[in-house]
Amino acid sequence: MSSKAHSSNSIAHARRTVQQLRIEASIERIKVSKASADLMNYCSEHARIDPLLMGIPTSDNPFKDKKTCTIL
Amino acid sequence: MAAEKAEMDALKKECDGLRTQIEAARKGVNDGNMSSAAGSATDVGRVQLKLRKSLKGHLAKIYSMHWSSDSRSMVSASQDGKLLVWDTHTGNKLVAVPLKSAWVMSVAFAPSGNLVASGGLDNMCTVSNIKAASPKTLRELDAHTGYLSCCRFLSDTEILTASGDTTCCLWDLETGKQKIIFTNHIGDCMSLALSTDENTFVSGACDSLAKLWDLREGTCKQTFSGHTSDINFFPNGNAFVTGSDDCTCKMYDLRSDQEVITYQDASLNAGVTSLTLSNSGRLIFAGYDDFNCHIWDSLKGEKVGVLSGHDNRVSCTGVPADGMGVCTGSWDSFLKLWN
């Protein structure tokens, strides 16, 4: 690759990098304390419907092997 | 030459300026981290899940698994050259899909349950119809120039792939062609996760960056630095968690544009291979090289339990849509179901 082509590639790459950084720099950011509070609220609002947190009664457990009853 | 050098210098200066601006903006909203905020959250106590089933059938290391949207079927991929579709309620195998290439790294179930996709060192993503009388290859998506590390269906007509060639790609399954190529990473893409609204996805790569992409525009919206080997969205869609071979997991919030908590423990010296969350997002199940899946309180950053039983590295984890359990897959060739 000629040095001219190489340097124009680098310039194109640098332009793309600047373009991308401009996009990323322009976003609105919220405070971490607010983000944390929202995540906490989501967890507490959905805790009741989280079977792994609440526990699953044996009769409703789809993965538990059903034992058969035998009449002795 | 001088004009080009001047332009390069100006561009480099602008890059540096923008990077400084981004860091300052992040710092400006960093008024505390998650674990201190979570002091008021109720404790989850010790989370003790029992092993309910050990699924035996693969003959070699399991590399990937994915739940069907029905929360009952599940597909696993092993380097024994097969995909197995399981009925997790009975433990029975429903379908075996032989693979052309045994070097599989990722498998996915379509939301419809009709299709599965897999790929790996063959650089291709092969889509198969498992509802046919015997599994039928529908498409071989062949355009990546590096290994396929992850794939996820949007529907029976679109699939997203991540590759060691540093790109992610959205494919049209009707034509078998690439629709959008997502380029911006400078290292192998290792994992991806779709947002529930399917407008965005996050990718993790070996360049230690996680990126948020607009699925329809093809643009990178945000970049997070840290590390990643596996990545998953928090259920509210505003945050995501990553795991890494540096033995830690991290949670990033999209709206604060930064990491909000790190999950690490001095006694854990094994890399994280995979991670998944419970339905409320409160629990993180992370598979490690130490053969265990450790359970973290996502808010307080504390280890609250462990799933022990595998005889080799835990390579994949997944919680089904109904949240009723967690599946771990391992290099020991077994999948285990816990709840």
**What are B143-185's pLDDT values in tens digits?**
999 999 999 999 999 999 999 999 999 999 999 999 999 999 9
Confidence class for position A6, pLDDT limits 50, 70, 90? low
A63 → closest Cβ in B28, B279, B337: B337
How large is the ipTM? 0.92
Residue with tokens 């309620």: B89
Q: Which residues in chain A have Cβ-Cβ distances shorter than 8 Å to B42?
A: 44
- Chain B contact for A5, CB < 8 A? no
- Contact assessment for residue A11 and residue B10, using Cβ atoms and an 8 Å cutoff: no
- Chain B contact for A6, CB < 8 A? no
Whether residues A18 and B15 touch (CB distance < 8 A) is answered with yes
Amino acid at site B211: K
Best residue in A24, A28, A54, A59 for a mutation probing chain B (most B CBs within 10 Å) = A24
- Contact assessment for residue B298 and residue A47, using Cβ atoms and an 8 Å cutoff: no
Distance from the Cα of residue A12 to its chain's centroid: 32
Length of chain A: 72
Q: Which residues in chain B have Cβ-Cβ distances shorter than 8 Å to A19?
A: none
Amino acid B210: pLDDT: 96
- Chain A contact for B221, CB < 8 A? yes
H helical segments located in chain B: 2-29, 34-37
- Chain A contact for B257, CB < 8 A? yes
CA separation (Å) from B304 to B43, B49, B284? Answer: 10, 11, 10
Distant-in-sequence, close-in-space partners of B72: CB < 8 Å, separation ≥ 6 = A62, B87, B88, B89, B320
DSSP-assigned states of every residue in A18-59? HHHHHHHHTS----HHHHHHHHHHHHHHHGGG-HHHH---GG
CA angle B110, B54, A53 (to 5 degrees): 75
Whether residues B279 and A42 touch (CB distance < 8 A) is answered with no
Amino acid B156: pLDDT: 97
3-state secondary structure of B45: coil
A20 → closest Cβ in B184, B234, B235: B184
- Contact assessment for residue B293 and residue B272, using Cβ atoms and an 8 Å cutoff: no
- Chain B contact for A58, CB < 8 A? no
The answer, yes or no, to whether residue A70 has pLDDT greater than 80, is no
Amino acid A4: pLDDT: 61
- Stretches where chain B sits below pLDDT 70 are none
d(CA B19, CA B10) in angstroms, rounded, equals 14
The answer, yes or no, to whether residue A2 has pLDDT greater than 60, is no
d(CA B261, CA B267) in angstroms, rounded, equals 18
- Chain A contact for B218, CB < 8 A? no
Amino acid B227: pLDDT: 78
3-state secondary structure of A13: helix
Report the predicted TM-score, pTM, of the whole model to 2 decimal places.
Answer: 0.94
State pLDDT tens for residues A8-64.
788 999 999 999 999 999 999 999 999 999 999 999 999 999 999 999 999 999 998
* CA dihedral of residues B92, B113, B101, B93 (deg, nearest 10): 0
d(CA B20, CA B165) in angstroms, rounded, equals 29
